[in-house]
Amino acid sequence: MPDRLQVVADDITRLAVDAVVNAANESLLGGGGVDGAIHRAAGPQLLAFCRTMNGCPTGQAKITPGFRLPAKHVIHTVGPVWQGGDRGEPALLASCYRNCFRLAKEHGLHSIAFPAISCGVYGYPHEAAALIATAECRSALAGNSTLKQVLLVAFDEAMAGVLRRAAQSA
Ligand code: APR
């Protein structure tokens, strides 16, 4: 059976999946990095919609329409800022993935694409984040037969290599 978990190097805003995950901040009012790219591609209606969402705590996730994105939905999640690793960051990062998968299951989604949450501005070490991401993906796939495709989207080949190595060991 083909692996339902795939690593790709791409721009997540181009992917026609049921949901793309946004690495947002607690305001949900946009930012730089993948957050900025998703808002630019989705258009101004996404920000207008997010203004009604009353933010999102770190580790939690909220779902919105995708508007002008090829993806049907955006699942916004807020990763932890890396502070050395003993401030609950691993558990909060795992919680991001679990809550995104919970929403995917509740909405009967068949495909979801994740960026490397917290691995940019928030400074999370890439290997450690990739191990958490792939472990949560394997666990979610085992518990959800409706989910046919999970994409871990790297923005460069280096990150893609980190994710591929983690996926092989997960
Ligand atoms: N497609 C896929 N991945 C992308 C894209 C894109 N278009 N743009 C950036 N990335 C990658 C980055 O290279 C990084 O590996 O997404 C990963 C997450 O980096 P950030 O976007 O900086 O997100 P994060 O580290 O979680 O920081 C979140 O940054 O943009 C602000 O509003 C956001 O305050 C929040 C913070």
* Model confidence pLDDT, tens digit, residues 11-45: 999 999 999 999 999 999 999 999 999 999 999 99
- The yes-or-no answer on residue 35 being catalytic is yes
Q: Mean of the pLDDT values across residues 37-63?
A: 98
List, chain by chain if needed, residues with CB within 6 Å of any ligand 1 atom.
11-13, 23-25, 31-37, 79, 115-122, 153, 155, 159
Q: Mean of the pLDDT values across residues 64-91?
A: 98
- Strand ranges for the chain from DSSP E: 5-9, 19-24, 61-65, 73-78, 111-114, 149-154
Q: Are 74 and 113 in contact (CB under 8 A)?
A: no
**Domains, the chain:** 5-169 (3.40.220.10)
Report the helix count and the strand count for the chain, using DSSP H and E. 5, 6
Residue 170: pLDDT band (50, 70, 90) is: confident
Distance of alpha carbon 50 from its chain centroid, rounded? Answer: 17
| Selected catalytic residue, list 3, 35, 86, 156 | 35
- The answer for 29, left when phi > 0, alpha when psi is -120 to 50, beta otherwise, is alpha
Q: What is the DSSP string of 60-103?
A: -EEEEE-TTSSSSEEEEEEPPPPSSS-SSHHHHHHHHHHHHHHH
- CA angle, 28 as apex, 119 and 123 as ends, to 5°? 15
Residue 90 CA to residue 29 CA, distance in Å, equals: 25
Task: Out of 30-34, 56-60, 161-165, 166-170, pick the least confident.
Answer: 166-170
Q: What is the pLDDT of residue 148?
A: 98
Kindly give the distance from the C-alpha atom of residue 106 to the centroid of ligand 1, in angstroms, as a whole number: 25
Q: What is the pLDDT of residue 1?
A: 57
What tens digit of pLDDT does each residue of 96-144 get?
999 999 999 999 999 999 999 999 999 999 999 999 999 999 999 999 9
Q: What is the pLDDT of residue 2?
A: 72
